[in-house]
Structures are given as C-alpha cells and as structure tokens.
Amino acid sequence: MSALEPVKVGVLGLGTVGCGTANILSRNADEIARRAGRGIEISIASMRDTKKQRACDTSSITLTEDSNKVVTDPDVEIVLELIGGTDEAKDLVLKAIEHGKHVVTANKALIALHGNEIFQRAQEKGVTVAFEAAVAGGIPIIKAIREGLSANAIQWLAGIINGTGNFILTEMRDKGRDFDDVLKEAQQLGYAEADPTFDVEGIDAAHKLTILASIAFGVPLQFEKVYTEGITELTRDDVAYAAELGYRIKHLGIAKRTTKGLELRVHPTLIPHRRLLANVDGVMNAVVVKADALGPSLYYGAGAGAEPTGSAVVADLVDVVRALTSDPENRVPHLAFQPGALSDIPILSMDDVSTAYYLRIHVQDRAGVLADVTQIFADHTISIEAIIQKEPQANISIVPIVILTHEVSEQNMNQAIDEIEKLEAVTNKVMRIRLETLS
C-alpha cells in the first residue's frame, strides 16, 4: 500500500454518531490527512435497515445488514464499533481483532465490562483498541490522563459524566421543578431514553468512572466494585436547602486514591457553589483531575451528540492511522500503564469511605426532637457543621431539619441514621447526600 492510499474504515452502526463521524471525515478530509499522514475513508458500514435515510452521504459507502462482512472485509484496516450494547458488540469486536483489525469504539459499557479481555486479545494480535469517545463525548479526557498527565501520580478525579442527570439537576435548581417533571422534558428533548434507568440511576456514569479510574490509577477495569447511587430520590427542597447553605448538588463520579485503597463511587454530591464543577450546567460534562505535579485541571465540553462524539472518534482514528506502521510494543498502552504493570490496589467498600454529609430529617414539631437527634450524633462522634430548622407551616405539624456534618465514615453514619429513623418523632426515611469540597 502506498503512503498516499487512504486507510479504509468499516463501521458497525451508521446512526447518530456514525453519521457525525462520516460528516467530519468528509468535511475535514484535507486537515485530517495532513495530521494522520494519509486519508481516512469509510468504505463499508452495517446497519439494521440499509434503506433508511441517513444524516450523512452514503453514496461512496457499501451498505450491508450483515455486520460480519464489515469485520472480515480484507480491505478494512480499522473497525469502528458504534452499535452499543455489550453482547453483539463484544462478539464483533473480538472477531475484528482476530482478523487483525484495529478497533475504535464509543461503547463505555463494552469497555467497562469486557475491556480487560478485549485489551488482552488485542495485545496478543498486535492491534489497538481506542475508546476516547466512550467517556465524556468529545472531551479528550482519556488522552489527557493517559498521555498528558503521564508524569503525574493522580490523587483523585471527580466528574459530571452524564449529561441527562446534569440537565435534570440544573432545571430543578434554576426553575424549582420536580424530578419527574424534568425527566419527562428530558425524554421529549431526546436527552433521556424511554427507559432512563442507566442515566438517572448512575449506571452510565459508573461505566465511565470505571474506565477513568483504570487509566488514572493503573488498575484493571472493575465495574462491579463501583458504588452506584442515582438521583431519583432528590427533591427540589434538597436542591433549595443546598443552595441556602452555599452548595449545589451534582451527580458525580469520584475516584480517589487513599492510604487504604481506591474509592470508586457515583452518587449525588453537594459541592461548594464557587467551584468550577458546580457551575457546569445543562447537558455539559466536566472532569476535574487532581495530580501531584500539575495540581487540579478541568476538562469541560459536550458529553454527547453526533459531532462532539464524532470528534473523539475521528481523533482516535487519526491516532490509530499514525501508529499503523509502528511496533505494537511501542504504542501507548490501552490503559495508560504497561499491561504487566497493572496494580491490584484494593477497591474500598462504601462502609470504609469517609465524607461529610447533608441530612434532611422530617420530624414532628415538638420540643426535644432536635436534642434527641444531636445526642445520637454525639454518641457516634459525628460533628455537626450547620443546622437549618424550618418554621412549621400553618396546620402542618411536620417540619424538616437540615444538617451538615463534618467528615465521618459511612459505617458510622449508617448506624446513626438507623437510630434516628427509629425515633418516634421522625416521620420519614432520612435523606442523605454526601458532601465533597474538591479542595
């Protein structure tokens, strides 16, 4: 193959992101060729219905409903996996690798759940699997951590890595709306799926955090060890009380190195309103990385969409094309660290994690209740930073007490909450949201 001959790409799934990628490759063909050293063109693509109208020009692309034709095509050097899901995608990616194809994917679930196996097979076959688009859409966070920060020991990272959840929390804060109301609008706008579970329960963010933690700390991908909590229990009152105390609620993925091991957790989090991360609104994504030499750095941008995600896909294609002639041993490792140098740092259970807390407790409006609550905190050596006790409204005998605590272990807090919920005057389950200063 001559140096000027374009690299042929086969695409699995020519949908929103696939067409975004195709449009970028066409529009910026000259710039991309100048960067990669060769042109890059899509020669074949598979889809469920080849007759369906597409949002990109397919006149020069061979269309097929048989995905196996893409991964076995002898002219294809790079397979682009954009079908989503895990079972079919895994089989096709492994088949592409067996046929000596490099792979680019935007599939976070595939990498989080099966990445260890896929990367091992790719290493054995001397091919690359690139996955920048799997985390935070078009933000080049994978490359930043894996390459730009390779001189550093990463201390922690925290990110808004699901745009749907961030849109919901932004609307709840700015317009005082209820969760269910905003979720319906998010579905109408196309931000949330008909079944929004992956977004609002934190599963999507946990997939992405699994990948970020692996490249940040040099550990195998371990999705099953990520603590995951969604935003469905949050109320507009919680959002308002947090603002009153100087905080905003964000649905964060947090990975932190401690002396005991790694914390991997996704949950609603109070963060000080002056923090840059607290001011990331709507469907935007952002990740803060704290490194020992650089200090904190922020990566912000569109976390989804045809061309933002396509931007990351094409960047991966360029990287793969640049490395086509290089010795596989000299390529950037898939998970940032050399395959034989991954560490077995333990992943901590949530019981062993220590954070500060926001608590909302609904109690009967009578004397002595607050004293009972604070006594339980004292018994468990939990220090209180602030208390808001709302005045009872007319003809309503239930009042909310809002408490901020200093840092305490989750296990300690669980025991205190159990005792508080058993008090006769406490009428509902205690609402607990963890608090991080990100300092």
**Residue linked to tokens 């706008």:** 189
Longest Cα separation, the chain: 85
Phi first, then psi, for residue 3 (nearest 5°) are -65, -25
How far apart are the C-alpha atoms of 154 and 226, rounded to whole Å? 18
Query: For 408, phi and psi rounded to 5 degrees?
Result: -155, 155
262-272 and 431-435 strand pairing: parallel
Residues 6 or more apart whose CB falls under 8 angstroms from that of 246 comprise 272, 273
Q: Choose among 364, 402, 397: nearest CA to 270.
A: 402
CA distance 54 to 42: 14
Instruction: Give the ranges where 218-305 is alpha helix by DSSP (H).
Output: 236-244
**CA 177, 188, 310: angle at the middle one, nearest 5?**
115
Other Cβ atoms less than 10 A from the Cβ of 296: the count is: 17
The answer to whether residues 254 and 350 touch, using CB atoms and an 8 Å cutoff, is: no
3-class DSSP state of 426 = strand
Distance separating alpha carbons of residues 356 and 370, to the nearest angstrom? 20
| Strands (DSSP E) found in 245-390 | 247-257, 262-272, 284-291, 295-302, 354-364, 384-389
- Residue 274 has a CB neighbour count (10 Å cut-off) of 10
Handedness of CA 92, 324, 125, 211 (dihedral sign): negative
Q: What is the three-class DSSP state of 384?
A: strand
Sign of CA dihedral 329, 334, 338, 340: negative
Return the DSSP state at 277: G
Q: Of the candidates 211, 14, 207, 11, which has an alpha carbon nearest to the alpha carbon of residue 92?
A: 11
Among 8, 90, 143, 208, the one annotated catalytic: 208
Strands 7-12, 78-81: pairing is: parallel
Task: Verify whether residue 208 is a known catalytic residue.
Answer: yes
Task: Quickly count helices (H) and strands (E) in the chain.
Answer: 14, 17
Q: Which residues are catalytic?
A: 208
